Amino acid sequence: MTGHPLIPMIHAIESANKPVVAAIEGSALGGGLELALGCHYRIAHSKARLGLPEVSLGLLPAAGGSQRLPRLIGVPAALNLITTGRHVTAAEALQLGIVDQVTDHNTVDAAVKFALSVAGRSLDPRRISTHPCPQQPDLDALFEEVMQKVRQSARGAIAPIACVQAVRAAATLPYAQGMERERELMATLFTSGQARALQYCFFAERAVGRWRMPSGARWDTSKSRPVHKAAVIGLGTMGRGITVALAQTGLSVIAVETQEKQLMEAKQAISGMLERGAKRRGVAPALDGVIYSQNIQAVADVDLVIEAVFEDIALKTKVFQQLSAVCKPGTLLCTNTSALDVDQLASETPNPELVVGMHFFAPAHVMKLLEVVYGPRSSPQAVATAMQLGKKMGKASVAVGNCRGFVGNRMLKPYIEEAFFLLEEGATPELVDQALEEFGFPMGVFRMSDLSGLDVGWRVRKGDGLVEPGTASGRFARIRQGRRYSPLGDLLCEEGRFGQKTGRGWYQYDKPGSRVARSDPWLHSFLGAYRAQHGLVARRIDHQEVLERCLYALINEGFHILDDGIAAGPEDIDVIYVSGYGWPRHRGGPMFYANMVGLAKVLERLEHYQQLHPEVPHLQPSSLLRRLVASGSPPIHKWGEAIKKLHSQL
Ligand code: NAD
């Protein structure tokens, strides 16, 4: 790979004998800032933003940015900017020493004035590449500490590590050798596949905003309604976070809760979250933006309602009927249900076209993902409005069709089930979690289950009639409703092991609520006794099998979802998984990953496991996957076309 094409130009500017002043307006990100670093002075408009965000695309600043920035602002500050890719305001850039002056007026005029004021001064001190980095005590210890931190948070991503190595070269080598190192490191990143995955994510996040529904309704032909005032019904875990997310967007919010004690607690919690959020962002908290009430009549004049009461269809139906009677005509009614049928709820209200799902993730004011769930009767305007509001709240909003679990949770089910089956066959929670965490998830299945609470899934399985008293043994005790079923989670719940909140789950914790998971000998002997009771012989299971069974089962469900038209394209699924389910961004998302691995390989492995486990329907390869392989495994950006063609042939 040859050097970055900007390098000669930047070099020519830096070595010029006339002073060159960069006038920075708008964004100076990546190459723009690298060019400015070649100039002798930098003046920025107060609204400008600066940064070297290459790392977020799997790259590093390779036009000398990794060599000049540490020379200009010192190693610690440069490491922070380059390894995180964060953007800084003009004010922070001035404080860090990236720019020499900030102006509120015409930037070019200010730059010209500035140039005149420095004319005649020696330019030598201003040629950044000709100076060493500012002195830094104990450089080795600093790099070691930063490298450790970066490795931990990178979860397998290589670009942040290469960024540290490039800055190290700036700190320890002459400029020319540092540039050579920058070029070599960039060449490795370029060919790694991770850069492709990260760039795919960047574009996928933009693509999901251009939503379309099977009815033909689309983002560019559906107009959203303005939302100034919103209401949240039910102020439990989710309602509180949703209220905060709405208020922070500048909306007036009516927050309704029937239980007086809950209302008081919620008010305190919401005010606390708003205050902390405002402090972080350096703005005033929007405390006055929220009005609390115990009476649903208070929502009469809102433009949109988000319901977050208990997960109970009868209760939600009642609330929706009350809302239809109370709200002004045209008010959009949204439900935050995680699994109930949005269409059924819509059909119980007088105006089903006004009903959509807005599926937030806990904590709702922090988590990036929002699934906007449309039923067959939801109007395009309702979908457009929910999508627009999601965008305003800064969420990665993805429009999806209505089905059990929508997209994210529907795909998660086979993934979790496979993890349970692996325990039955001889794996431990530690082994499964380690394999998934090495792959790049922040937490494996079992640590995640301990965090969110084992009782959540237990309640759902009970509702589905799957939970039976745990005394039966043998193979048939592990078949429910005609398919393989693992009662392991139910048995733990019967023991009162709900995870972190009870101090025991798949792991043990020092005390209830503690977060540090430790291996639990009780669990291992429990698994041994369980296998003996059911005549199961533990076998050695390796990381590869864990990954293939858990991930390919999840991906297979993704193909079913595409085939059913629940997600419009693979990008929608991938954005959901990267922004809401901890799928490592540098692996692009499950469908991108399948594309990278090769569809034929995924199909072959699913067939292999399906033969070994015929009683597990989710290992049965989806017909779409088969058809894509049969049509020559088109690359991911051609799947949409291929799916359309395959459907028209049916
Ligand atoms: P929660 O039990 O913490 O809170 C529900 C609140 O609704 C309670 O405070 C209750 O008093 C209140 N409530 C009940 N009936 C009411 C009524 N008629 N009017 C006003 N308030 C009423 O529940 P949660 O975890 O916040 O979940 C709420 C909804 O969000 C559920 O549908 C759930 O499935 C869904 N959800 C939960 C999560 C999660 O991680 N907890 C994630 C996504 C979606």
For position 473, what pLDDT does the model report?
66
Domain stops at, among 470, 504, 533: 533
Instruction: Tell me: do 377 and 471 sit in the same domain.
Output: no
Whole-number Å distance, alpha carbon 106 to ligand 1 midpoint, is 52
Give, as one character, the DSSP assignment of residue 220. T
Ligand 1 atom at minimum distance from 256 CA: 20
pLDDT tens for residues 251-283? 999 999 999 999 999 999 999 999 999 999 889
Instruction: Tell me: do 277 and 147 sit in the same domain.
Output: no
For position 377, what pLDDT does the model report?
94
Domain span holding position 257? 229-404
Answer yes or no: are the C-beta atoms of 229 and 254 closer than 8 Å.
Answer: yes
- b/e burial code for range 317-355 (CB count within 10 A of at least 16 → b): bebbeebbebbeeebbbbbbbbebbbbebbebbebbebb
Does 408 have pLDDT greater than 80? yes
Is 180 tagged catalytic?
no
pLDDT tens for residues 286-322? 999 999 999 999 999 999 999 999 999 999 999 999 9
Q: Would you say residue 207 lies in a domain?
A: no
Instruction: Tell me: do 473 and 566 sit in the same domain.
Output: no
Residue 644's pLDDT band (boundaries 50, 70, 90)? Answer: confident
Q: Is the CB of 336 inside a 6 Å radius of any atom of ligand 1?
A: yes
Domain stops at, among 191, 220, 246: 191
Q: Is the CB of 308 inside a 6 Å radius of any atom of ligand 1?
A: yes
Q: Would you say residue 584 lies in a domain?
A: yes
Does 145 have pLDDT greater than 90? yes
- Decide: helix, strand or coil at residue 422: helix
- DSSP β-ladder status, 332-335 and 355-360: parallel
Instruction: Tell me: do 337 and 265 sit in the same domain.
Output: yes
Q: Is the CB of 311 inside a 6 Å radius of any atom of ligand 1?
A: yes
For position 139, what pLDDT does the model report?
94
CA angle 346, 349, 350 (to 5 degrees): 125
CA 62 to each of CA 186, 231, 503: distance values in angstroms, whole numbers, following the listed order: 7, 49, 49
Residues ≥6 apart with Cβ < 8 Å to 50: 24, 27, 28, 29, 33, 36, 44, 87, 88, 90, 93, 98, 99
Whole-number Å distance, alpha carbon 405 to ligand 1 midpoint, is 17
Ligand 1 atom at minimum distance from 259 CA: 11
| Domain at 323, CATH number | 3.40.50.720
Distance CA 403, CA 401 (A): 6
Q: Would you say residue 418 lies in a domain?
A: no
Residue 1's pLDDT band (boundaries 50, 70, 90)? Answer: low
Q: Would you say residue 437 lies in a domain?
A: no
Does 555 have pLDDT greater than 90? yes
Average pLDDT over residues 470-487: 80
Return the residue whose CA atom lies nearest to atom 8 of ligand 1: 236
Domain stops at, among 482, 505, 533: 533
Ligand 1 atom at minimum distance from 239 CA: 26
| Domain at 124, CATH number | 3.90.226.10
Whole-number Å distance, alpha carbon 293 to ligand 1 midpoint, is 16
Whole-number Å distance, alpha carbon 307 to ligand 1 midpoint, is 8
pTM, 2 dp? 0.93
Does 59 have pLDDT greater than 90? yes
Does 471 have pLDDT greater than 80? no
Q: Would you say residue 366 lies in a domain?
A: yes
If you count them, how many residues does the chain have? 650
Instruction: Tell me: do 172 and 300 sit in the same domain.
Output: no
For position 140, what pLDDT does the model report?
95
pLDDT tens for residues 431-462? 999 999 999 999 999 999 999 999 989 998 99
Lowest mean pLDDT among 177-181, 477-481, 634-638: 477-481
Residue 60, judged by CB atoms within 10 A of its CB (0-12, 13-18, 19+), counts as buried
Instruction: Tell me: do 519 and 581 sit in the same domain.
Output: no
Q: Is the CB of 262 inside a 6 Å radius of any atom of ligand 1?
A: yes
For position 150, what pLDDT does the model report?
95
Does 476 have pLDDT greater than 90? no
| Domain at 502, CATH number | 1.10.1040.10
Instruction: Tell me: do 547 and 496 sit in the same domain.
Output: no
Does 475 have pLDDT greater than 70? no
Whole-number Å distance, alpha carbon 312 to ligand 1 midpoint, is 9
Does 650 have pLDDT greater than 90? no
Q: Is the CB of 305 inside a 6 Å radius of any atom of ligand 1?
A: no
Whole-number Å distance, alpha carbon 98 to ligand 1 midpoint, is 48
- Output the average pLDDT for the chain: 95
Answer yes or no: are the C-beta atoms of 233 and 296 closer than 8 Å.
Answer: yes
Does 472 have pLDDT greater than 80? no
Residue 621's pLDDT band (boundaries 50, 70, 90)? Answer: very high
Active-site option among 14, 34, 182, 557: 34
Return the residue whose CA atom lies nearest to atom 29 of ligand 1: 308
Which of 256, 336, 368, 452 is the pocket-test mutation for ligand 1 (most atoms within 8 Å of CB)?
336
Instruction: Tell me: do 377 and 237 sit in the same domain.
Output: yes
Q: pLDDT > 90: what percent of the chain? A: 93
Which of 338, 367, 455 is the pocket-test mutation for ligand 1 (most atoms within 8 Å of CB)?
338
Ligand 1 atom at minimum distance from 233 CA: 20
- DSSP β-ladder status, 101-103 and 396-401: unpaired
Ligand 1 atom at minimum distance from 452 CA: 40
Q: Would you say residue 355 lies in a domain?
A: yes
Average pLDDT over residues 373-392: 97
What ipTM was estimated for this complex? 0.99
For position 208, what pLDDT does the model report?
97
Instruction: Tell me: do 265 and 380 sit in the same domain.
Output: yes
Return the residue whose CA atom lies nearest to atom 40 of ligand 1: 362
For position 470, what pLDDT does the model report?
62
Residue 648's pLDDT band (boundaries 50, 70, 90)? Answer: confident
Is 34 tagged catalytic?
yes
Does 330 have pLDDT greater than 90? yes
pLDDT tens for residues 80-91? 999 999 999 999
Ligand 1 atom at minimum distance from 309 CA: 7
Instruction: Tell me: do 518 and 554 sit in the same domain.
Output: no
Instruction: Tell me: do 159 and 187 sit in the same domain.
Output: yes
For position 474, what pLDDT does the model report?
65
Q: Is the CB of 117 inside a 6 Å radius of any atom of ligand 1?
A: no
Q: Would you say residue 205 lies in a domain?
A: no
Instruction: Tell me: do 528 and 557 sit in the same domain.
Output: no
Q: Is the CB of 580 inside a 6 Å radius of any atom of ligand 1?
A: no
Q: Count how many domains the chain has.
A: 4
Average pLDDT over residues 66-80: 98
Taking Cα atoms as reference points, which of 533, 582, 531, 555 lies closest to residue 422?
531
Distance CA 11, CA 7 (A): 6
Strand partners of residue 479: 484
Which of 235, 306, 310 is the pocket-test mutation for ligand 1 (most atoms within 8 Å of CB)?
310
Residue 647's pLDDT band (boundaries 50, 70, 90)? Answer: confident
Active-site option among 54, 182, 417, 548: 54
Q: Would you say residue 210 lies in a domain?
A: no
